[in-house]
Chains A and B, each alone.
Chain A
């Protein structure tokens, strides 16, 4: 009866989370199909507008997965990403979307199991919040 299948865009750093997701797959460790991975050279590449565009295009949630603090391949990219996410949380509040829909996690390339767990956790958070109001509006617009 529950027709809600969340869509969560996961911006993953190639040096850690992307490899961790790959490792999870290699280990046959399932993570939700809701997770749609976008590979980044570093989470420091992510810009405020990338996160907003994900929501504008109908994502129910956004996950930013970067290296453990202190382990960024480019020294501070993951710290910049977190600052930008904090800024986006403020913008989401102004727009009227729940800030909890966007979350950042920090993992290493060896943490395939943890990636699956944390990604699953975020998908459940998003599921509890329900579909993005923007997503519903898009669907209605398309139907009209």
Chain B
């Protein structure tokens, strides 16, 4: 899932300075299950903002609460189309993708982010989320026993641990396990240490962030009417 956390209330309140009517929109997917942008979080933030405005300015801020199943798909935003015109701004409790999808769909409305999007990860324990993937575009988990050296090694090493690995902990933060220590232990358990002896060539980061925003196209899934409209392919 995409993991995000609420921005400081003051930062959100400052974005809304001058606004009288705001629509706070949650997202029922990733940010609901990481407890940052679900229905309860929308209600909590809406109440907090209303109170803060009354405390600071003595006049009300109208915050209407809304939820969509997924902010990152056009179809789910359609139910907002009618009411969105009535608001000075929309506060998105979605991830950065949700905020941008809203902004693309409703270009005449100010769309503001209530969350800071952190990473792709999992809930490692109740109330704890950890990063597991950086979307590098060329997965190597087959070679590393299902433990990602890109997202979990602070130095993104591909040929074993650095000299800072001590007793299975990372030198960057002793609370972090050394990814390569874990990779080696997993390989031992699977009887695959031999495969780790091969030297891994420098990673080709062209599939990662280097070339700007990435896109994926599946011609077999496209609608014939849209084929060729976007140029390039």
Interfacial residues, chain A to chain B (CB-CB below 8 A) = 47-49, 52-53, 55-56, 91, 94-97, 133-134, 137, 140-141
Which of the listed residues B43, B48, B51, B55 has the most CB atoms from chain A within 10 Å of its own CB? B51
Give chain B nearest CB distance to A101 CB in angstroms. 12
User: Contacts A97-B51, A137-B54 hold; do A91 and B10 have CB atoms under 8 A apart?
Assistant: no
Give the chain B neighbours of A141 by CB distance below 8 A.
60
Q: Contacts A47-B40, A94-B9: A53 and B47 contacting too (C-beta < 8 A)?
A: yes
Chain B positions 207 through 233: 1 when the CB is less than 8 Å from some CB of chain A, otherwise 0: 000000000000000000000000000
In the A-B complex, list the 4 residue pairs whose CB atoms are closest, starting with the nearest: A94-B9, A52-B47, A96-B55, A49-B43
Interface set of B (CB-CB < 8 Å, partner A): 8-10, 40, 43-44, 47-48, 50-52, 54-56, 58, 60
Q: Would you list 14 pairs from A and B whose C-beta atoms are within 8 A, ordered by A residue?
A: A47-B40, A49-B43, A52-B44, A52-B47, A52-B48, A53-B47, A94-B8, A94-B9, A94-B10, A95-B9, A95-B48, A96-B55, A97-B55, A140-B58
Q: Is there contact, CB below 8 Å, between A96 and B40? A: no
Please state if B51 and A49 are interface contacts (CB–CB under 8 Å).
no
Contact (A55, B43) CB under 8 Å given A94-B9, A96-B56: no
- The contact of A134 among B8, B43, B44, B51, by CB within 8 Å, is B51
B22 to chain A, nearest CB (A): 15
Q: Among A47, A49, A137, which residue has its beta carbon within 8 angstroms of that of B58?
A: A137
Residue of A nearest to B12 (CB): A94
Once bound together, how far apart are the Cα atoms of A97 and B54, in whole Å?
11
Q: Across the interface, which residues of A come within 8 angstroms of B9, CB to CB?
A: 91, 94-95
Q: Which residue of B lies closest to A88 (CB)?
A: B44
Chain B residues lying within 8 Å of A137, measured Cβ to Cβ, are 54-55, 58
Contacts of B43 in A (CB 8 A): 49
Q: When chains A and B are docked, how far (Å) is the Cα of A1 from the Cα of B56?
A: 28
The one of B8, B47, B50, B52 in contact with A96, judged by C-beta atoms closer than 8 angstroms, is B52
Q: Report A28 CB to chain B, min CB distance, Å.
A: 38
State in angstroms the CA–CA spacing of A141 and B56 once bound together. 15
- Which partner residue on chain A sits nearest B10 by CB separation? A94
User: A49, B40: Cβ atoms under 8 Å?
Assistant: yes
| A134 contact set on B, CB distance < 8 A | 51, 54-55
* Contact, CB under 8 Å: B40 / A48: yes
